Amino acid sequence: MRIVVLLKYVPDISSDRRFAEGRIVRDPAEGSLNELDENAVEAALRLVEAAPDAETSHVVAVTVAPETADIVLRKAFQMGVHRGIRVSDDALAGSDYFGTTAALAAAVRRLGEEEPVDLVVTGMAALDGLGSVVPALLADELGWPQLTLATSVALDGSTLTITRESDDVVETLSAPLPAVLSVSDAANSPRYPNFKLIMAARTKPVETWDAADLELDPADVGAAGARTATVEAAARPPRPETELVVDKGEGGTALADFLIRNDLV
């Protein structure tokens, strides 16, 4: 069993996130592994650990990001991921959903040429953009079935079955491998890094690939291939000072008055 897990480097959720020149500012000190991708790593590790050929099974982590993002691969190594690849190229900067998908699909294909890939696992969303569409796009691009937003995952032979709850539908879906799986934070609890792996992760090599290694056409990726462009970005004005009432018996009435006074009832 061979699983590829996709990791995203995102601005820290509690940092002061911002834009400059139409792009998200990625300050190395403030970025971290997209939290939901820890659930993806956990799901991938559990599947290979339970595989009949667990001895030879492994998980490969792939991230498309600049060099500063190696911390996300280190984190994956600490959890037990076997191999880490960073796809970095100036030509990839400014990629939209489609450019990103093209790069990820090319990386999965290249790995597949070395040795078949059984499954690609991702988090259900990246906590910066929250688009939640790359897993579906990747599946369509690879021509593989997609099982997205999973809250539970079970593998029986080469049939993967998930349950999920999205919008107002509760579903059980299944598909044969190879497939693309995205997991929600309800799917599992990510393990804590263990000491041995933390030590080993420090020196574990990160492989790097560029656009040429993946035979990506520069016209399809990055700002050159983007079909949308961010032309304006502005921080919203801060909310006016909070009107704070300490409840001394009339707090509920004050709340109702606020709503009535502002025509919100």
Ligand X SMILES: Cc1cc2nc3c(=O)[nH]c(=O)nc-3n(C[C@H](O)[C@H](O)[C@H](O)COP(=O)(O)OP(=O)(O)OC[C@H]3O[C@@H](n4cnc5c(N)ncnc54)[C@H](O)[C@@H]3O)c2cc1C
Q: Which residues bind ligand X (CB under 6 A)?
A: 35-36, 185
Is 133 or 200 the residue whose CB approaches another protein more closely? 133
CB 149 within 8 A of CB 182: yes
Counted residue by residue, the chain has a size of 265
Which residue from 94, 84, 70, 73 is spatially nearest to 21, judged by alpha carbons? Answer: 94
The candidate with the shortest Cα–Cα distance to 192, out of 41, 23, 63, 64, is: 41
Helix axes 35-50, 70-79, angle to 10 degrees: 40
Smaller CB distance to ligand X: residue 151 or 208?
151
- Which of residues 30 and 185 has its CB atom nearest to ligand X in the complex? 185
| Minimum CB distance to ligand X smaller for 35 or for 128 | 35
CB of 241 to another protein, least distance (A): 9
Residues 6+ apart with CB under 8 A from 256: 265
The single residue listed with the structure tokens 């991938």 is: 44
Q: In whole angstroms, how close is the CB of 102 to ligand X at the nearest point?
A: 27
We find the least distance from the C-beta atom of residue 81 to another protein, in angstroms, to be: 22
Q: How far is the CB of 185 from ligand X (least distance, A)?
A: 4
- Single out the residue of 97, 59, 103, 63 nearest to residue 81, CA to CA: 59
